[in-house]
Amino acid sequence: MSRRQFIKILAAGGVMAVLAACDGMPESALAPWLGPDQRVLDPRLRALSWALLAPNPHNLQAWVADVRTPGEISLHVDTRRLLPETDPFGRQVLIGCGAFLELLRMATLAGDALFAAVRQRRTQRSVYTPIPPQAAALAALRLAAEAAGITLGCTVEPEQVKRINAMALQGCRIEFGTAETWQESANSLRLGAQEVAAEPSGTAVLGTEVWLARSSGLLDHAALRDPNGIGATRALQSMTTLLTSGTPAWVWLSSADNSRMAQLEAGRSYLRLCLQATLLGLALHPNSQVLQEFAQMRTLLSQVHAELGLANPARLQMLVRIGYAANTAVTPSPRRPLSSLLQA
């Protein structure tokens, strides 16, 4: 009997249900989502405890907060957590820093209604219902997200949605099928609860089937890093489903230029977009692949700019699936403890 057959027999016999708790998300990786520890009194640290919940590329959380000077916070990029293959110019990491700074600002200033959605915000990588967002909801998103130099665009027009879907899927094929870029993404996968607990960043790969596959030797990091292996294949299958039958609309953020300040402002706008969408019951899922600057993606990057009517020096900073999730139960992504981000 092969190992694969053995796993199928276990599943058929109901053993999967018994083992359901074998590989869940560690509580320690979710603890930051509870908010600041009540024992923390320094207002800077309390604000940083919220800021680290910001969305960021590959969930690598490439932030270092220097709090050595009393009353000040200096934010730096953690250069050990960059993405040189998929983000060669550091554009995405700057967007993540912008989101961090905007959430930090909200946490220090009372009265921003969007802040109420911080703990509920999720990236929902799932099928959305065919119902697109209504005009009033899109107007509310625009009001929340637009800022000086940052514009929010959207489409619910079926033919344009199909064209963007096709481009987004092609972007996935290119990234997942290119050895260097796929391996970089695969390196951010945390395989099993033990790895997530040890390094609560990146993408958690959990669940009973994963636990059984690992335990039986069918799944390991070498298999996941292979662009022709199970990881890339499953990732592309998942995105194909989402982009052929589960995406009713798109929103995007563009900037007047591609300066570092524009990238930071785009991150601030994206954070506000996420929080407003959460309050409206809308699901978001950014598509980063088609916006990346590595050589194999450049032609497609130009094509998506043309599709959205953006000409140089304007830059598309975020392209995001939007809709109503068919399944709204989403576990938060793991977060590193505040202490791991501090330079104190």
> Residues 47-84: pLDDT tens digits?
999 999 999 999 999 999 999 999 999 999 999 999 99
> Residues 218-256: pLDDT tens digits?
889 998 999 999 899 999 999 999 999 999 999 999 999
Give the C-alpha separation, 23 to 314, whole Å.
45
CB atoms within 10 A of CB 304: 22
> Residues 172-202: pLDDT tens digits?
999 999 999 999 999 999 999 999 999 999 9
SS3 call for 15: helix
As a whole number, mean pLDDT of residues 276-285 equals 98
CATH architecture of 24-202+229-343: 3-Layer(aba) Sandwich (3.40)
Element holding 239 (H helix, E strand): helix 230-245
Rama region for 127: left / alpha / beta (φ>0; ψ in -120 to 50; rest): beta
Of 51, 207, 196, 209, the C-alpha closest to 118 is 51
**What pLDDT score was predicted for residue 215?**
85
Q: Tell whether the model's pLDDT for residue 11 goes beyond 50.
A: no
Given a contact cutoff of 8 angstroms between Cβ atoms, the answer to whether 209 and 288 are in contact is no
Of 330, 329, 274, 325, the C-alpha closest to 130 is 325
**What pLDDT score was predicted for residue 96?**
99
pLDDT-derived band at 4, boundaries 50, 70, 90 = low
| Percentage of the chain modeled with pLDDT above 70 | 94
The DSSP-derived string for 82-109 is: --TTTSTTSHHHHHHHHHHHHHHHHHHS
As a whole number, mean pLDDT of residues 308-328 equals 97
Q: Tell whether the model's pLDDT for residue 133 goes beyond 50.
A: yes
Q: Tell whether the model's pLDDT for residue 16 goes beyond 60.
A: no
Q: Tell whether the model's pLDDT for residue 17 goes beyond 50.
A: no
Q: What is the mean pLDDT of the chain?
A: 94
B/e letters for 160-182, b = 16+ CB within 10 Å, e = fewer, are ebebbbebbbbbbebbbebeebb
**What pLDDT score was predicted for residue 138?**
98
